[in-house]
Amino acid sequence: MVLFNQTNQTDQMNKMSRRNVVIISAHPDDMEIGMGGTVAKLAESMAVITSVVITNGGRSSNPFALTEQRLAEVRREEALHAAGVLGVKDVTFFDEPDAADEINIPAVAQRLVEILARLRPTEVYTLDEAGDRHPAHRLAGKLARESVLAAGIVVSGGIWAYEIWGPFAAWDRLEYIDRYVAKKMAAIAEHHSQVATIPYGEGVLGLNRWRAVFADPKAIAPAGEYAEVFRRIAIAPRSN
């Protein structure tokens, strides 16, 4: 009986110490573009990852002239395939309209709070509400921060913003992704409807290379070939 209790206690401690990650994005391809290498690294470390996608992406690049509904369906399938490439098994789609001013903010906020309160993540990743040039990205970042606060959880590993439409002038964390950059490129390539006309993979690969090369002005040589950077987001209310 004592051995059984000790085993249960060990299992419980392992569960508590395991990295539990939630990634909140605006569009079906944001996670892959902004932090695909870090996601693959987290998955390899056995982190439990939940990806939350707020909009359906139905009004994005549409080179095949699909209807908005059909494009949204295609983008969902692409996102699931891309997540699988990176090792993410749990993807939640909110299916909100692909326009920042049409998103049901109260409903999204409520769902985010429910998910965060249930999963109690140790780390949360989202988009940059201050510097990203895309309005839906900024809204996703704002809702993520506010929802972490409203859920009343302690995010011991921090809440982090990743970059897409607006490279960071300064950052708080740098992740070398040399071993995972191929997975990142493969995951981005799964978004066929988007990369058919916009070479997101080429653009972000160049950025990740620059981040690694120019990571430390005092370094004798770069510590890696490719890197992703993140800004730490303060979990506190902000005045409008």
Give residue 10's pLDDT.
Answer: 39
Q: Which pLDDT band holds residue 18 (cuts at 50, 70, 90)? A: confident
Q: Is residue 236 one of the residues assigned to a domain?
A: no
Q: Is 114 part of any domain?
A: yes
Does 37 fall in a domain?
yes
Neighbouring CB atoms inside 10 A of 22's CB total 28
Q: Say which residue, 19 or 186, is predicted with more confidence.
A: 186
Is the pLDDT assigned to residue 3 strictly greater than 60?
no
Number of structural domains the chain divides into = 1
pLDDT tens-digit profile of 62-75? 999 999 999 999 99
Tell me: the pLDDT tens digits for 29-63?
999 999 999 999 999 999 999 999 999 999 999 99
Q: What pLDDT, on the 0 to 100 scale, is given for residue 239?
A: 63
Please give the pLDDT value at position 61.
Answer: 92
Alpha-carbon distance of 132 to 91, in angstroms, equals 23
Residue 12 has a pLDDT of 39
Range of the domain at 190: 20-165+174-230
Does the pLDDT at position 11 exceed 80? no
Q: What is the pLDDT of residues 85-97, one digit of tens each?
A: 999 999 999 999 9
User: Per 3-state DSSP, what percentage of the chain is helix, strand, and coil (rounded to 5)?
Assistant: 50, 15, 35
* Predicted confidence (pLDDT) per residue in 143-190, tens digit: 999 999 999 999 999 999 999 999 999 999 999 999 999 999 999 999
Residue 239 lies in a domain: no
pLDDT > 70 fraction of the chain, expressed in percent and rounded: 91
Position 7 scores a pLDDT of: 36
Q: What is the domain-level CATH number for residue 109?
A: 3.40.50.10320
Q: Do residues 208 and 177 lie in contact, with contact meaning Cβ atoms separated by under 8 Å?
A: yes
Separation of alpha carbons 209 and 227, rounded Å: 7
| Residue 215: inside a domain | yes
Q: Hey, is 96 helix, strand or coil?
A: strand
Q: Is residue 237 part of a domain?
A: no
Residues paired with residue 52 on neighbouring β-strands, in sequence order:
24, 92
Residue 138: inside a domain: yes
**C-alpha distances in angstroms, 142 versus 97, 173, 174, 212, 223?**
17, 20, 22, 28, 33
Residue 222, in any domain of the structure: yes
